[in-house]
Amino acid sequence: MTEPRLEVRPAAGATTAVALFCHGGTVASIEPPRERALSLVRMRTVEQFVSAAAADRGLTTCLLRYRVAGWNGMAADAHADVGWALDRIRAEHGDVPIVLVGHSMGGRAVLRAGGEPQVRAVCALAPWTPPGEPVAHLRGATVVILHGRGDRWVPAALSAEFAGRARDAGAHVARFTVAGGHSMIRRAHLWHTFVRDVVLAGAGLTPMRPDVAMALADQGVTVDL
């Protein structure tokens, strides 16, 4: 089994914050993710968009390349790889704010890591959150979720249930839904700008956009975009 690795787009100058992007995968597989997998291509596109908007503000972006394509039950391989990536980021950049962004399986992985040191916010896109997914570690964490209402791969009801339990556990949660499915292709620009805005605010580079700030303050309400 190979090591995970990071595709890094460095800040234009000194790094003042880091955003880690984690793509989707599958329930079970010990094969490496395919180079042209749609989940990887889409997340790279989002990461590049955010980097283009914020590299000159001190943001370094990293795209995590997993060892294997699957979650693989108790092994939770994607979550283990996120832990590896966070260790690398801390070793390289020290005590800077970190924002986690994940789609589908990657959303599950970053939510699992949401209580890690230096993580200032988690942005979960159509996250795969099966019933019983842990939430206690998210107490005090900032969690922003965006999910397509027509998602057939990971039904939006799963993230709604997760968001409710995370709020009850003490997390600060804002959940949004949008027309479209799982691939983030329909209304792609909305997905991109949403992630950009959450990352910049989580990194401390801009104020939180008003709709997200309002949703975080008004716990329990899902907002349709």
Q: What is the pLDDT of residues 157-178, one digit of tens each?
A: 999 999 999 999 999 999 999 9
Place of tokens 């060892």: 67
Backbone angles phi, psi at 115, to 5 degrees: -95, 5
If one counts the domains in the chain, the total is 1
Name, in order, each residue with C-beta under 8 angstroms of 18's C-beta and a sequence gap of 6 or more. 59, 60, 61, 62, 89, 93, 96, 97, 98, 99, 203
The structure's pTM equals 0.96
Q: Which of 123, 17, 106 is nearest to 65 (CA)?
A: 106
Residue 188 belongs to what domain range? Answer: 5-224
Share of the chain above pLDDT 90, in %: 90
CATH number of the domain bearing residue 12: 3.40.50.1820
pLDDT band at 222 (very low <50, low <70, confident <90, very high): confident
Q: What is the pLDDT of residues 114-154, one digit of tens each?
A: 999 999 999 999 999 999 999 999 999 999 999 999 999 99
